[in-house]
Amino acid sequence: MDLTRFLAGKAFHIRLASGSPRRRALLHDLGWDFETVSPDVDEAPLPGEKPEALCERLARLKAEAGAKTAGPNALVLAADTIVVIDGRVLGKPSGREEACAMLRLLQGRAHEVMTGIALSRGGELLSGVERTVVHFRPLTEAEVQAYAATGEGDDKAGAYAIQGKGALLISAIEGDYFNVVGLPLCRLGRMLEELTEDTERG
């Protein structure tokens, strides 16, 4: 994979189909040119749908929705991140009580963070799922309550943020750190290379 164009950062423009400030910050830190749109997608799982299939399907739906109002050669990026433990998907908590319940479930154990990522351009759509294992250290009830009270996890799957105070809760990770933040950058680079090469050849 030739990273030259992506390291330069100015050779392309991305339409980010996501309202996530974490994803915007990651693209900004790369120095890439991008705009954001917030696609309206029903995120309810289908009956019997596996977590991996759910986040990839939602990423694809968001990319397709973002492409509808874009030009024919627009490069559209979408992602959907979920936390999975015991086969159960933890989304964003509905309130402080549910946030505490999620943290109690995660504490002292390992869970998976899955991000479905989709990239479209010129009618072609690539997608995949990145998985990272996150280990929480044991937490006391006072620690659970104190972290939930920060409000940091209110709008995040699993009710925590690895890039903030939530880092104090995590003893180890196996895989891509940026995947836990919400956008697996190494996989994104590979997908960009594949998609731009394919569309340029076409």
3-state secondary structure of 107: coil
Q: What is the DSSP letter of 95?
A: S
Question: How many CA atoms lie less than 13 Å away from 161 in the CB half-sphere?
Answer: 16
Q: What is the DSSP letter of 137?
A: P
Catalytic residue among 29, 40, 80, 154: 80
3-state secondary structure of 132: strand
Q: Which residue has the tokens 């505490």?
A: 100
107's tokens: 């504490």
* Catalytic site includes residue 2: no
Strands 13-17 and 75-85: parallel
Active site (catalytic) residues = 80
